[in-house]
Amino acid sequence: MLDNIYRNIQKKSLRERFLLVIAILFFMFYFVLGLLIIFMDKFPLDMATEYRWAFGLLLMAYSVYRGWRLVNENRD
């Protein structure tokens, strides 16, 4: 399975590989940002705890969606 993924990545052009790396970085960025918003004690914006949880979970759900879309897009 990993060999198939590796061959798929090698088939891509340099531009497509760069965009794949950027997509992976943004997936991780949104997920970590969601965790930070939820668990940060001294959050710089004045938000109620419920809204911070909702916003953090929304960001994490969006990152999971981006990751799922990224995996499905690279199954060629």
* pLDDT for residue 76: 57
Q: Can you read off the two tokens belonging to residue 50?
A: 């419920």
Neighbour tally for 37: CB within 10 Å: 21
* pLDDT for residue 1: 60
Q: What's the rounded Cα separation, in Å, for the pair 7 and 40?
A: 40
Quote the pTM value. Answer: 0.78
In the block, tokens 């088939």 appear at: 11
**pLDDT: is 26 or 7 the higher one?**
26
Per-domain residue ranges for the chain?
23-76
- Over the Cα atoms of the chain, what is R_g? 16
* pLDDT for residue 64: 95
pLDDT digits (tens, 9 = 90+) for 17-71: 888 889 999 999 999 999 999 988 887 878 888 999 999 999 999 999 998 988 8
Q: What's the rounded Cα separation, in Å, for the pair 1 and 20?
A: 18
